[in-house]
Amino acid sequence: MPSNKSVSDAPITQFINCRILRDHQLQREDLWVREGRILDPEKLFFDEHGYADNCVDCEGSIIAPGFIDVQINGGYGIDFSQASEDVSKGISFVAKRILEHGVTSFCPTLVTSPPVVYHKVTSPVKIVEKKGAHPEQYLRTFRSGGIEDLMEAYGSLDNVAMVTLAPELASSQSVVRELCQRGITVSLGHSVANLSQAEEAVQNGASFITHLFNAMLPFHHRDPGIVGLLTSDQVPAGRTVYYGMIADGIHTNPAALRIAHRAHPSGLVLVTDAITAMGLPPGRHTLGQQVIEIQGLHAYVAGTKTLSGSIATMDMCVRHFKQASGCSVEEALEAASLHPAQLLGISHKKGNLDYGSDADLVIIDDALNVRATYINGEEVWRKEP
């Protein structure tokens, strides 16, 4: 129990026999949690004279921050882009299922859809030439000059965390500025933009690239397009351009994955881009207004060879990224935790194990398999023995 000097009567949990990811390194030390936050043990011992009420033996495992997936379209039969009277029920169902894959936070993502569907996340403002699996009839340009088109499509931007748009569209730069002023992360993607157009968008506040290499112009030595942002000298000082990578072994060749990581390691954000069929057997499923066919590990728009999201889980992506890139364990874990938190502007409370941060944790073995998941210091999933 806490001592009489303790600032709180809440129970304290001590995680022992573990290596924790802190300051970009795995450190062999205990982790202390109270009231859903990570404690500074020195203050606990010397200022409060407190000690643990509960002890969790991690048996030599790694403790990392909970994974954050900023692009997930659904899973386990739930499609976030299908209109529903109870959206929260589907989101909650997926949230519970992905705990076994170490995901403690995520952005429910909507693909291009009719306006009636929009409640939350991804914009329909994409370029037709690089529409990917997005239905062309619902793609929009900025017809009335900017932000009004988004309001017409969404009705509200109150619950929107991120919008993907094509920066070459007329009036797109003013929309980038307006969205950033509202605290919404702007991502560039589904686009045929050249490098200068992409750089202008970044200078106006854009900070992310949607699934790098996919649904954009291929790299060219005279004009590298959006891909060139990874090494651009026109990114404002102090700013980082992050980029999503679907490290499922299908969307991106391992050599391309290595090129991106070695060019800009601190910007890499692992995303699943998972669709309804994640966790389901092969067959036909929906993604928004499209029918998707699962063949092995590939998800195609039915009747085509157009890739349409993935059926990968975040822990699979972490493992494949480490294997394909040759990066360290720390780098692989931070690409699924710290980097997405920095992208979303929430790294003061999530994506790390700093003192005072939320105790969203994943316990993993040396092969990066998830053994247990915690949210706010409470165990929410554990692998059966």
Catalytically annotated residues = 273
Largest CA distance in the chain: 69
Q: Which amino acid does the sequence have at 2?
A: P
Contact between 327 and 121 under an 8 Å Cβ cutoff? The reply is: no
Strand order in 283-287's β-sheet?
A: 283-287, 290-295, 298-301
Q: Cα–Cα distance between 317 and 250 in angstroms, integer?
A: 11
Locate tokens 């170490």: which residue?
Answer: 102
Alpha-carbon distance of 273 to 380, in angstroms, equals: 23
Which DSSP symbol is given to 285? E
CA nearest neighbour of 71 among 271, 327, 276: 271
Beta bridge partners of 142: none
Ligand-binding site membership of 339 (annotated): no
Partners of residue 185 on adjacent β-strands: 162
Q: Quick check: 17 and 60 in contact, CB under 8 A?
A: yes
Please report the DSSP string for 13-34 in residue order: EEEES-EEEETTEEEE--EEEE
Report d(CA 138, CA 114) in Å as an integer. 6
Give yes or no for a contact between 95 and 364, defined as CB atoms under 8 angstroms apart. Answer: no
Residues 117, 134: Cα–Cα separation, whole Å: 14
- What DSSP designation does 4 have? T
The structure tokens 């935790």 sit at: 337
Asked if residues 274 and 313 have their Cβ atoms less than 8 Å apart, the reply is: yes
Q: Are 245 and 331 in contact (CB under 8 A)?
A: no
Ligand-binding annotation for 136, yes or no, is yes
For residue 328, give every residue at least 6 positions away whose Cβ sits within 8 Å of its Cβ, in sequence order, or none.
322
Tokens of 71: 């692009």
285 known member of a binding site: no
Collapsing DSSP to helix, strand or coil, 159 comes out as coil
Which residues contribute to the annotated binding site for Zn(2+)? 136, 190, 211
